[in-house]
Amino acid sequence: MKVKQRYWLMLGLLLALIGAFVTQAQDIEPLAAPPEDADIAISFPPPVFVIGGAVDIRGTADTLDMANYFVEYRPLLLQDTNSGATPIVDTNRPWFPATLPANQAVRNSILGTWNTTTARDGLYELRLVVNVTSGAPQIFRVSPIRVLNNPTQQFVSLPTRIPLQPTPTQIGGGSGSARPTLAATPTSLNTGEPTVTALTDSNVRQGDDVSYPRIGSLLTGESARVIGVSAFNSGWYYIELNNGRRGFIAPNIVRFSGSESGLQRIQPPPPPTPPATATPITSANLQVTGLRLDPPQPTCGESFDIFINVQNTGTGRSNSSGTLTVTDRHVPSGSTSGSTIGGFPELDANASFVVVASLTINVFFDETHEVVISVDPSGQVVETNEGDNSRSITYTLQQGACG
């Protein structure tokens, strides 16, 4: 079945699923599938798909001058009309982090894992944000997606995951290296032609040193034609990728096949000018300005909530959404008793957002515990001060039914 046919089949199933409370969905149009040669794409989940639990977001983030990438989500708005509730895109709704930021190029593989249990059941849209060292971020969106972790009788019974993608094949021979088909199958290389095969996921650069900008990548097990070697005697090979781009790759991360006798000596471009010391692109500053437990003295074996007020105390809007970690620590021993994570959207200057996290602690009752909050531990949000992102609160764990 062709991809478009599958999308329309899934659209019909989704409309049946939400038919109990959505009488018309014309305002939500499924976005088109990514082109085969896309450098930025989410291939799974596709538009009009039902997901639940921990979901691997798959796709491609492999652009020139990429600084990092991450995936965000936001709910679609249900607008009341005379004929019922219609889902629409509300551009004023904030985005929340679905995955942590990463800076290693990815093609047709896992971009990150979204724990959908932290979101309410409903309709959402996803977006992949790729920050580049120069210019505006590049974005790829997927909409609509349905999160369904707590089905009720009002919904049509459907499996949480409906097969849509072909079964991934193993690349590189290692466990966990399955990649769904997104890009076109590379053309085979001529027999006897000098080639290199990547021993690990490798960057291809403009010149024969890691200081040069990256122009592409060669994933583990992929091969490329060798055109020449560096004239600077560094040993770096000058190769041509399947998309026609040419660049240098280090000899210690590839396996060379063929003869080097006829290879050209390629003059690399002048070394790049060292970048000037980076200055923050915003004047945002994140702090925890409020922290409380409910109940104030949690009980062993019973869930309790942590209310965390994250505030941007700076003078400018934060550059992205962010995450925070919540860790429960047993004070006498210093050991960790439990942990979880939370997310918050972009924040205007002086704006706040309350993150609600839950923990259940089953050890060390009648002893002192400390709940430690660490905001933006991965440094995704650019701040004027990275040293004031933590806050903690102590309590004595009540015995309850433990003992």
Tens of pLDDT along 181-226?
333 334 445 557 899 998 877 888 899 988 888 888 888 888 999 9
Q: Does the pLDDT of residue 77 top 60, yes or no?
A: yes
Q: Which helix (DSSP H) or strand (DSSP E) does residue 228 occupy? A: strand 223-230
Counted residue by residue, the chain has a size of 403
Average pLDDT over the chain, rounded to whole?
Answer: 78
pLDDT given for residue 19 in this prediction = 42
pLDDT one-digit tens code per residue, 97-122: 888 888 888 888 899 999 888 788 88
Tokens at 140, concatenated: 């790829």
> What are the angstrom distances between the C-alpha of 91 and each of 29, 94, 272, 301, 334?
15, 8, 40, 41, 45
372 vs 178, more confident: 372
Tokens at 165, concatenated: 């993608």
Q: How confident is the model at residue 63 (pLDDT cuts 50, 70, 90)?
A: confident
pLDDT given for residue 155 in this prediction = 39
Query: What gap in Å lies between CA 398 and CA 384, rounded to an integer?
Result: 40
pLDDT given for residue 281 in this prediction = 55
CATH for 193-266 (3.40.50.300, 3.40.225.10, 3.65.10.10, 2.30.30.40):
2.30.30.40
Q: How confident is the model at residue 31 (pLDDT cuts 50, 70, 90)?
A: low
Phi, psi of 8 (to 5 degrees): -70, -35
- What is the largest distance, in Å, between two alpha-carbon atoms of the chain? 78
pLDDT given for residue 39 in this prediction = 87
Measured CA angle at 88 (ends 342, 46), to 5 deg:
65
Who contacts 297 (Cβ-Cβ below 8 Å, separation ≥6)? 395, 396, 397, 398
Please count the other Cβ atoms lying within 10 Å of the Cβ belonging to residue 323. 23
pLDDT given for residue 293 in this prediction = 95
275 vs 17, more confident: 275
Q: Is the peptide bond before 269 cis (omega within 30 degrees of 0)?
A: no
In this structure, of 93-97, 138-142, 180-184, 256-260, the range with the lowest mean pLDDT score is 180-184
Who contacts 51 (Cβ-Cβ below 8 Å, separation ≥6)? 45, 116, 145, 146, 147, 148, 160, 161
pLDDT given for residue 394 in this prediction = 96
In this structure, of 74-78, 90-94, 389-393, the range with the lowest mean pLDDT score is 90-94
pLDDT given for residue 310 in this prediction = 94
Hey, where are the domains in the chain? 3-162, 193-266, 286-396
Q: Does the pLDDT of residue 352 top 60, yes or no?
A: yes
Question: How large is the average pLDDT for residues 142-157?
Answer: 68
pLDDT given for residue 180 in this prediction = 38
- Could you tell me which of 308, 377, 384, 390 has the C-alpha nearest to residue 349? 384
In this structure, of 141-145, 152-156, 188-192, 328-332, the range with the lowest mean pLDDT score is 152-156
Q: Classify domain 286-396 at the CATH class level.
A: mainly beta
pLDDT given for residue 171 in this prediction = 28
Question: How large is the average pLDDT for residues 74-96?
Answer: 68
Percent of the chain's residues with pLDDT above 90:
34
| DSSP structure string for 13-73 | HHHHHTTTTBS--TT-PPPPPPPTT-SEEEEESPSSEEE-SEEEEEEEE--TTEEEEEEEE
Q: Does the pLDDT of residue 162 top 50, yes or no?
A: no
Q: Does the pLDDT of residue 163 top 70, yes or no?
A: no
Query: What gap in Å lies between CA 155 and CA 21, rounded to an integer?
Result: 10
Q: How confident is the model at residue 76 (pLDDT cuts 50, 70, 90)?
A: confident
Measured CA angle at 355 (ends 301, 147), to 5 deg:
85
pLDDT one-digit tens code per residue, 231-267: 888 889 999 998 888 999 988 888 999 888 889 999 9
In this structure, of 128-132, 194-198, 375-379, the range with the lowest mean pLDDT score is 375-379
Question: Would you say 148 and 50 are in contact if contact means Cβ atoms under 8 Å apart?
Answer: yes
pLDDT given for residue 359 in this prediction = 93
Tokens at 81, concatenated: 């009309």
Who contacts 274 (Cβ-Cβ below 8 Å, separation ≥6)? 211
Q: Does the pLDDT of residue 268 top 50, yes or no?
A: yes
Q: Does the pLDDT of residue 126 top 60, yes or no?
A: yes
